[in-house]
Structure 1
Amino acid sequence: MDDVENAVRLALRSVHDPELGVDVVDLGLVRSVAIDEDRVDIVMMMTTPTCPIGSLIAETAKVAVASRIGGDRQVSVTLDRSAEWSPALASPEVRARFEPHPSAVASAVKAAFSRLFKLA
């Protein structure tokens, strides 16, 4: 990975979905990054096509990348609102974070029902 690609990736990791508190890379929102001598073109998606803060997240990504790589390249971030996001696009760590985990209450209720029905 060259220095510019690494800088772009680090910059994008600093941009978080404010509702979920997870960066756009780990959420799987970055569809593509094209880097050439004078440009960095990024295509992103949102978790929902009608995300009301999609433009804000895209602008935040643009500013983060531009400030990280310096002024030699023009940065553009395009939102692909036709793309459909799914949790499968997120990193394994993010998917695990949002999977349902049995709570202590659920375990207690299950145990109570087990005892109740054994008594009947």
Structure 2
Amino acid sequence: MKAHYDKRRRKATAYKVGDLVLWRAAATDRADTKVSHKLANKFDGPYRIAKVMPNDRYLIEAIKGVRGYKRFQATVAVDSLRRYPCMGSGEYMSGENDSVNGDTDAETDRLDLLDLLES
């Protein structure tokens, strides 16, 4: 039984400190907006991973410079997070380095975005 159950389940996505993510709960908590739930965004963000915690939990924090910024931190489960997509490509932003010199285009885009948002 357990083997059958585990075979059909997806492995939890692993994030690193500094990765940009979108958060599902933040978008659905807005009861005061005039937009219906059908048209509202399912995910809100981006947020930065501040700390990796046990049991697939992450401490996320708001990024200074993003529209609607308020100083904010929350501990969230991995199933309510999604990677923040790169601008203009099908890749995702993460802290992974795949090239020989240590910088990929996605990593460079992520660092440029963080610099832009924090300035």
Could you tell me the TM-score, scaled by structure 1's length?
0.26
Which has the larger strand fraction?
A: 2
Larger Rg: 1
Which has the larger helix fraction?
A: 1
